[in-house]
Every structure is written in C-alpha cells, then in structure tokens.
Amino acid sequence: MLLPFAITADPLDLAGVLALAQQQHATQALEHDLEGPGAVVLFVGAVRGRHQGQHVRALTYQAYEPLAVASFARIATEAARRLPGVIVCLHHRIGTLEVGETSIVIVTVAAHRAEAYAASRFAIERVKQISPVWKREHLVDGASWVEGASIDPDDPAPLEDAWRRACP
Amino acid sequence: MPVTVRLFARLREIAGSDELTRGLVGGATVADIWDGLTADWPGLAPYAGSLSCAVNAQYARMTTAVQDGDEVAFLPPVSGG
C-alpha cells in the first residue's frame, strides 16, 4: 500500500502518489465540508546529465530513512499551516540512478491552482533544506558527495526563503 | 547499553563505517559523542561547523542529552531532490 511519505529503492509510482494525494484531499474536503480537489500539481525531479559543466554518469542517493520520512511529513504540515487544506505527498528514491531517472515525486493538491503550485515549489525547496538525503555524483573522472544546506528545521530564515521562492 | 552512532555520506566514508557503538558516561551530550569520533577520525573535524544531528530519528542539537540505548545520527549538509 502506498503511503503519503516514503523513501524507496524501487522506481517511483507517479500515478499512485497522484491518486493517493487527490483522494486524501477529497476525503478531507468531505469531512470538513470544504471545496474538493480542484488543482493537482505533479513535480518530478530527474537525474540531470550535466552539473556545473561536468558530464554526470549517474547519481547515488542515500537517506536517513526514518528522519527523512518524518521531514516529509513536517514539510506537508508546514505547507498546510500557510495554505490551509493543501495536501502534500512526497516520495524520494534512493540507490544509484541513471541520467533521466526519477529521483523525487511531489504531488500537491488544493482547491485552486495558486495554492497547489505554491505548495509544490515550497515542498521541493524545503526538501533541499531539511530532509536528510544526500546525492553522490558519479562523474567521468571520479565520484563525490554533494553537500548543500546544513539542516536546521527550526531556523525561520530558510523557511521564509522557501516561501519567498514559492510565492514570488 | 551503549549508544548507536549512524553516519551518512562523506562522514561514513571518512570513518569507514555506517554504524558504530560508543560507550557512554553519565550526562553525555551529542557533542561529547562527536568529540569522541573526531578524536578517532580527525578527518571528521572540519564538519563541526556544518553538521546537524538527530537522536532516535528526531532532529536534535549538539547540546541534546544522550541516554543509554539511543541512536545518534550525524548529518552532513544535505543534497536531496
């Protein structure tokens, strides 16, 4: 059974995550007598063949699985705090992925498109800030771990930065 | 019971292990565990300024107290997505 938040070594089930998110929004709308799912945004992150001018052969993803899944739930809660009613489902793949393969899928559902689009951008920005997931780049002349943001989930500055990018 | 230490990405490479067990003295914090690791693997030391941590799969701080049997994870800067 598909869960709303997951780390998996298997290929990501885009259609399954999409259906789950849509159904969650519909159920929530029924329960609270609100507008149902009128806008569904699917974000798919894929392995790029070049990074900063270098030819990328593959990426290997690693995660601290229980905390990564908890971080996805936290991101969904943060999104719904600013955008009431929005549903976020988030799956990230781990292991070695070839160029073009899907590494992350984010589905956001809202009554209207503005909230669904904003939540989608917010969620991917926030994953890059606080989710314990790492990528190792396999280049032609060797491999190395990519190090981006230092995790500080309680720091309001990156949170606000993610919202600024989501709602310009 | 000892503490289980989880390492990820580059930290795992430097220490040559994804999981370690460390003994604990009373009143220890995550920082004490980290200091013990950097004594064994000086290559970890440069991560002090960019490091995050978790205790029992919850976000924590270096000042967080550690109990017997806890799982302490050290998290270098992340690059998911």
- CATH number of the domain within which B38 lies: 3.10.20.30
Going by pLDDT thresholds of 50, 70 and 90, the confidence category of residue B71 is: very high
Tokens 């991917």, located at residue: A124
Going by pLDDT thresholds of 50, 70 and 90, the confidence category of residue A87 is: very high
List of chain A residues whose C-beta atoms are within 8 Å of the C-beta of residue B50? 147, 150
Over residues A115-163, the pLDDT tens digits come to: 999 999 999 999 999 999 999 999 988 999 999 999 999 999 999 999 9
Boundaries of domain holding B31? 3-75
Query: Residue B8 falls within a domain, yes or no?
Result: yes
Touching check for A133 and chain B: CB below 8 Å?
A: yes
Give dist(CA B13, CA A8) in Å, integer.
22
Closest Cα in chain B to A130: B78
Query: Residue B80 falls within a domain, yes or no?
Result: no
Query: Residue B52 falls within a domain, yes or no?
Result: yes
B65 has a pLDDT exceeding 80:
yes
In what helix (H) or strand (E) does residue A80 lie, and over which residues does it extend? helix A65-82
- Domains of chain A, each with CATH number or no CATH: 5-166 (3.90.1170.40)
* Pair A75, A127: CB distance under 8 Å: yes
B1 has a pLDDT exceeding 70:
no
Inter-chain residue contact B80 with A127, CB threshold 8 Å: yes
Residues whose CB falls within 8 Å of the CB of residue A40, separated by 6 or more in sequence, listed in order: A18, A21, A22, A107, A108, A109, A116
* Pair A56, A63: CB distance under 8 Å: no
**Sign for the pseudo-dihedral over CA of B73, B77, B80, B81:** positive
A168 has a pLDDT exceeding 90:
no
Over residues B4-29, the pLDDT tens digits come to: 999 999 999 999 999 999 988 888 99
